[in-house]
Amino acid sequence: MKLIFYLVFALPLVVFAEPNKSAIHYEVSVGDSLKALKISVCFDHALPPILFANDGSSTFVNNIRSNTGRVLDIEVDRINIPAEESARCIFYDVLLQPRNRGEQRGGAETRLIEGRDMLTSIGDWLLRPRSTSEYAQFDINFTMPKGTYVSSPWRRIGETSFVGFNTPVEWEAIVTFSSREPDTISVSGSIFEISVMGEFERTPVADMSRWVRQSAEGVSALMGFFPRSRVQVVISPSDRGNSIVPWAYITRGGGAAIHVFVKRDASLEQLLWDFSLPHEMSHFMFPHIDSRDYWIIEGLPTYLQHLSMVKGGAITFQESWSRLYKGFLSGEKLGRGFTVVESMRRLTRRGTYLHVYWGGAAYFFQRDVDLRMRSEGALTLLDILVKYHECCYDEYQSISGNDLLADLDVLLGDDLFTRRKLIEIETEDFPDFRTTFKSLGIQFLGNKPVFEQNLSNGLASQIMSPVGFDR
């Protein structure tokens, strides 16, 4: 919606610059095996000095030449284009080498699911110039084998055509080639394109879409809209362990995407009870944070997943308080005398993840309660996030954690976010969630929340309030 607003009102002023016109044009022909690609990329203006991929791509990319006949080489992760090259197009072939064994544990990768559905990491095959105003946007068209479908995080303009923003080359994205047509749903005006890879035992595709819908409704109810207008959701089967969602991550390359691995025999009921999808969706409440402030990056979704799951009707408010309390206890316990910031620096050590994630969650919980307390419920953390989306959220730029907190402070007209960070994240071992629960009139018997009626200021039920969707 925001983009449409921008187009309508800004167009007369910038008609000569044409910022929303693609200057890069890709044609991708996908072979029957889904592994062999023939790609052409043409530029409206001069070729950029360098085209980038990831550092494994030199193994997959070959036969690179320009339309003037010049033969080019890929060096590790890039093609250097000679300054005197007058061509406008580069052609190259790709032979993907998908993984097909083991389980994924990391960001985007090229992987073949059940011998027929392909996940591709664009870093393996999509050679791109650095993101500058000259190369801000591309269009891409696929020629697919009969009976196969393509999905991407980019804006869909046809069955096999997309327009993408040329985000930083380091930002990952997944493009799928699949035998199953993606399902598209709309939630609060945002489009979710859902691609289910492989086969599941108990959850038909329609139930997967229902899971996505219900999760998105809960997250949308936090701010009144979903933080991104278009989201690609890829669901792949997993045979690892007992966890319902053993692995999930988001990507931001060219647009928003979520990739979830789901236990092959998971039921819809189990999926709705799981926090992973609402958590991943909540990552888009903030833009890309490039300062490795994992306490912010993971802390906000870890807090908000509880609120959105109650809003969407996935769990009760009692269950949600109980999960939040258990999480804080586990995070605090694993701190072992370190501050959250110190734990973040030793993140790879076992256990410190929980201290960092839950420490961040407790910080955002406390800010939410601070704001509600001082305004008697009139102002919440979510209101500040809405303001942030209206003024400052940029889908295609990174921001540092400190700058983000400073922006929130400006919107609030106070130094609350920065000041409390110094105390709770950098000085003390863990945010003092016990006092915060007490101020809300919540005690815990074991993990069970008990609400003190005479102490209640109504804020506890305001925080964990179901919306009551008509389903």
Binding footprint of Zn ion on the chain (CB under 5 A): 298
Tokens of 115: 């011998």
Q: Are 129 and 65 in contact (CB under 8 A)?
A: no
Q: How far is the CB of 261 from Zn ion (least distance, A)?
A: 14
Q: Which is nearer to Zn ion, 119 or 304 (CB)?
A: 304
Q: Kindly state the tokens that stand for 400.
A: 């540092």
Cβ-contact 307, 463 below 8 angstroms: yes
**Between 298 and 370, whose beta carbon lies closer to Zn ion?**
298
Beta strands in 351-404 (DSSP E): 398-399
- Token pair in block for residue 89: 């197009």
Closer of 274 and 298 to Zn ion (Cβ):
298
- φ, ψ (nearest 5 deg) of residue 66: -100, 170
Report residue 238: phi and psi, to 5°: -130, 145
Q: Which is nearer to Zn ion, 298 or 368 (CB)?
A: 298
Task: Give the ranges where 77-164 is alpha helix by DSSP (H).
Answer: none
User: Considering the complex, what minimum distance in angstroms separates the CB of residue 298 from Zn ion?
Assistant: 5
Backbone angles phi, psi at 340, to 5 degrees: -60, -40
CB of 326 to Zn ion, least distance (A): 18
Q: Which residue is nearest to Zn ion (CB)?
A: 298
> C-beta of 394: minimal distance to Zn ion in Å?
20
218 or 466, CB closer to Zn ion?
Answer: 218
Distance CA 411, CA 383 (A): 10
Reported residue count of the chain is: 471
In whole angstroms, how close is the CB of 347 to Zn ion at the nearest point?
13
Q: What is the DSSP letter of 332?
A: H
First-to-last C-alpha distance (Å) of the chain = 25
* CA gap 185, 272 in Å, rounded: 17
Q: Do β-strands 247-251 and 256-263 pair in parallel, antiparallel, or remain unpaired?
A: antiparallel
The answer for residues whose C-beta is within 8 angstroms of residue 211's C-beta and 6 or more apart is 203, 268, 271, 272, 277
Using the minimum distance from each CB to Zn ion, give the nearer residue, 207 or 298: 298
Tokens linked to 11: 């167009």
Q: What's the closest the beta carbon of residue 248 comes to Zn ion, in angstroms? A: 8
Choose between 278 and 449: whose C-beta lies nearer to Zn ion. 278
Closer CB to Zn ion, 244 or 412, in the complex: 244
Closest CB 260 distance from Zn ion, rounded Å:
12
**Please, which residue, 90 or 216, has the CB nearer to Zn ion?**
216
Q: Is the dihedral of CA 105, 110, 111, 117 positive or negative?
A: positive
Nearest by Cα to 382 from 251, 218, 241: 218
Closest distance of CB 173 from Zn ion, Å: 17
Q: Which residues contact 150 (CB under 8 A, 6 or more apart)?
A: 30, 142, 144, 160, 175, 176, 177, 178
Min dist. Cβ of residue 252 to Zn ion (A): 13
Q: Which is nearer to Zn ion, 87 or 300 (CB)?
A: 300
Residue type, 146: K
* Shortest distance (Å) from residue 357 CB to Zn ion: 8
Q: DSSP letter at 128? A: B
In this structure, are strands 230-238 and 24-30 parallel, antiparallel, or unpaired?
unpaired
Closer residue to Zn ion (CB): 295 or 433 = 295
- Rounded to a whole number of angstroms, the minimum distance from the CB of residue 189 to Zn ion is 25
